[in-house]
Amino acid sequence: MGRAFEYRKAAKMKRWGHMAKTFTRIGKQIAIAVKAGGPEPENNPALRAIIANAKRENMPKDNIERAIKNAMGKDQSDYKTMTYEGYGPHGVAIFVDTLTDNPTRTVGDVRSVFNKFNGNLGTMGSLAYLFDHKCVFSFKKQAGLEMDELILELIDYGVDDEYDEDEEEGSITIYGDPKSFALIQKHLEENGFEVVGAEFTYIPNDMKQVTPEERESIDKMVEKLEDFDDVQTVYTNMATE
């Protein structure tokens, strides 16, 4: 499962920052989900998925409920999803996923980091060919589960035939077409699967080999980008160690 292994490494790529930043990131996601589909998880598939992610990140129940309540407030800011892409040092492609209520501020922050590290911020879509956009679902493995049958059921939704199994956690991770996120989630839930994580990710399809010294400079750039509250996730096509 070579490609699936690369998916797993990309999906689980290291994230910088403290727990408080993680909760802030999830809080923004909750705000968008609530405004789009309402505050009731049972009627809002996107919110259910985010709550599953929040629990996986050990976000306290009180924090989750507070984020939902705040999202219903009249003065709650409307966040927008903005993506920025370009090349960092040593020709490594960098994709920055953000949620922001001030795109002008965010693009200025992101550009400043690219400039500091002698990178080049490109136009939206300029590096799309280097990454595969995927939705990712992790769920508890059921006793007697036949993965070939499940994949066959989901293939019409663009689910890949390769998947990951975490024997220690007792979970399965599948990857599919982002446009089918809601349909895949519905199928899993209706068939009794306990979804423990659901998100969108960008998987590099052309890995860039770097030296240890080059890796260190890229890591520093990623850390600087992730220091900004607006930044959700930073993806690169830097080959893993």
Residue 81 in contact with residue 96, Cβ under 8 Å?
no
Q: Is 76 a domain residue?
A: no
Q: What is the pTM of this model?
A: 0.78
pLDDT in tens, 111-126: 999 999 999 999 988 8
- Do residue 53 and residue 20 come from a single domain? yes
- Which of residues 71, 91, 109 is at a domain's end? 71
Q: Both 178 and 114 in a single domain?
A: no
User: How far apart (Å, rounded) are the C-alpha atoms in residues 214 and 140?
Assistant: 38
Tens digits of residue pLDDT in 167-195:
888 999 999 999 999 999 999 999 999 99
| Shared domain check, 212 and 116 | yes
The arithmetic mean of pLDDT across residues 48-56, rounded, is 90
Q: Find the mean pLDDT for residues 2-26.
A: 57
Q: Which stretches does DSSP call E strand in the chain? A: 80-87, 93-100, 120-121, 131-140, 164-166, 171-176, 195-204, 231-236
Structure tokens at 198: 């659901």
179 in the same domain as 157: yes
Last residue of a domain, one of 41, 71, 101: 71
Which tens digit of pLDDT belongs to each residue from 94-109? Answer: 999 999 989 999 999 9
How confident is the prediction for the chain on average, in pLDDT?
Answer: 87
- Identify the CATH number of the domain in which residue 14 sits: 1.10.10.200
Residue 216 has pLDDT above 60, yes or no: yes
d(CA 25, CA 127): 24
Report if residue 192 sits inside a domain: yes
User: For the chain, what is the domain count?
Assistant: 3
Which residues span the domain enclosing 21? 2-71
Q: What is the pLDDT of residue 7?
A: 47
Specify the CATH number for the domain of residue 139.
3.30.70.980
* 45/9 same-domain check: yes
Query: In terms of domains, do 46 and 165 share one?
Result: no
